[in-house]
Chains A and B, each alone.
Chain A
Amino acid sequence: MKSLDPRVGRLPEIGEPGIIKPKVTLDQFGSFEVFVQPKEGRSFQHEGVVHAPNLELAYILAKETFTRRNTCFSVYVVETRDVFVSPLTDGTTNAYDLISDVASTGILTYEIYHLAKRGKQHVHAGQVSAGSPEEAMSEAKKKFNSKTIYNVWAIEVAKIRMTSSEEMDYWTTLPEKKFRDAADYKGGDKLKTFLEKSK
């Protein structure tokens, strides 16, 4: 294809222009929820979703999709299917009031996330031990119900691809990548010199 972009000029001829082959279902795979810990000591927070063929690739792709900027101390991913979700409330209704009390029968570990305000991200509240997601919600109610929360998530730790201790150095050079920071493009002095010269 002739183009001003030399890369486009090098693109292969594939298929036929204008003939669209519609995508098959799951061409873009399923989704994985991504959780980021911005600084050491701060809580993990939900950041968004990646599409990926499996958990390991979801981790690898999430690392760049969600932690290539700003600061990051750690990241983890879990398949959307494995996040258990409470009812969503509004106004003055506490989601925990809609969660039934269930006796705990097991010792799986669950991460619990809270939505403190609609429009914000879910933030990590802590861990509970339970035999099922429903039990985990009930345990969370006992442990973390201190103020009005609009939504609760429970995620079994075994389903999560965490960052291992050797992998913490992925983000060592992040603070130095100034070429992606607004602060590295201070045109003020150059502008000032130019304006003075133009007078």
Chain B
Amino acid sequence: MYGGGNTFEGIRTDSIALEDPIKLAEFEARIARGEKIEPTDWMPQLYRKQLIRMIEQHGHSEIIGALPEGTWITRAPGFKRKMALMAKVQDEVGHAQLLYSAAETLGKSREQMIDDLISGKSKYSNIFNYPTFTWADCCFISWLVDAGAIVNQLANAKGSYGPYCRALDRICAEESFHLKYGHHCVIYLASGTAVQRQMFQDALNRWWPPMMHFFGPSDKISTHTEVLMRWKVKMGTNDDMRNQFLDMYVPKIWELGFTIPDSKLKKNAEENRWEYTEPDWEEFKRVINGDGPCNKERLEVRRIAEERGRWVRKALSSPKMEYVTPLA
């Protein structure tokens, strides 16, 4: 699950001037005619660097994203929910596996990626730095955070880099189960007892602000990178993605009789844009830089997991092993 967020904040494009102009022109022509870039193709340094960053962060978002829902994996109510949640959280781990493999084709090792996550050097989707207090919080994530991720992933699946597109095709197929499952859970809470309805309303009140942060800072304050759009690395602006999400899901939330905690939220029909209270981008910055409710815990859980598994991996390593970049 990944919302893009602040992946492309603060990038510098000066390296483009140092690239071979003929190769660069051929590279851009290939993208313009819709042909995918594969691992052994020539590519500009900036393209490689930004793709690694984006795909790696997407991978980290998946493995960290497994934790807020994983909080409820032992407590899912009933067989249907229990088995579904086990499969869903497993899928998040599976998506991390697919994405790290795609990023590896660009030359960064999985070891380095995992180290960079745990040390705090690499980022992940900020929404996972918040706590899932109740079963309904878990359902919010399963439905609406997944929904947001799908908006982003469907856009990115049309990007230029072959391995990332192939990974996303697989991921989008699995996400369709996640989304339907999440919506199913919320429909049952909505149509259930007063306690169940209130549980979800409370969760919605808590999670709406981080959800509005999910697609990253608003266009008017985020860095514009025309070259990344031209190279089909960034597939849409943050506000575009956010509006798409609101279009698709606000009506569904309202349909269930829930109140979204933003009195300004409404669709401006003429401009075909949603109006809403401007999210607190200072809070977003604070949390993504380490000061959120769960940042320390999320990374500590990953650090412990890697430490605990060290003896297993060490035991099975052999001098015959050699690292070769994955092919596709």
Contacts and interface: CB of A to CB of B under 8 A. Distances in A.
Do A and B truly interact?
Answer: yes
Contacts of B318: 53-54
Q: Range of interface residues on chain A?
A: 35 or more
B307 A195 contact: no
Interface residues of B, number: 76
Given A31-B326, A121-B328, A180-B84, A20 B303 contact: yes
Contacts of A197: 191
B187 A28 contact: no
A179 B118 CA distance: 33
A22 B131 CA distance: 28
A147 interface: no
A158 interface: no
Given A25-B111, A53-B321, A182 B180 contact: yes
Contacts of B119: 20
B132 A69 contact: no
Interface stretch (A1-9, A101-109, A123-131, A134-142): A1-9
A42 interface: no
Given A8-B297, A23-B111, A80-B327, A29 B317 contact: yes
Contacts of B165: 119
Contact of B84 (A24, A50, A179, A195): A179
A6 B87 contact: no
Interface in A159-199: 179-183, 185-187, 190-191, 193-195, 197-198
Nearest to A29: B321
Nearest to B73: A7
A85 to B, nearest CB: 7
Contacts of A48: 98, 101, 166-167, 170, 326, 328
Interface stretch (B32-40, B210-218, B221-229, B274-282): B32-40
Given A25-B109, A48-B98, 4 more contacts: A7-B74, A20-B118, A26-B323, A194-B191
Interface of A: 1, 3-8, 11-12, 14-15, 17, 20-31, 33, 46-51, 53-54, 57, 65, 68-70, 80-81, 83, 85, 88, 90-91, 118-122, 151, 153, 179-183, 185-187, 190-191, 193-195, 197-198
Interface of B: 30, 35-38, 40-41, 67, 70-71, 73-75, 80, 83-84, 87, 94, 97-98, 101, 104, 109-112, 114-115, 118-119, 131-133, 162, 165-167, 170, 173-174, 176-177, 179-181, 183-184, 187-188, 190-191, 255-257, 296-297, 300-301, 303-304, 306-308, 310, 313, 316-318, 321-328
17 contacts: A5-B71, A11-B301, A14-B308, A25-B323, A28-B109, A30-B323, A31-B101, A31-B326, A48-B166, A51-B110, A80-B326, A81-B322, A118-B36, A121-B166, A191-B187, A194-B187, A197-B191
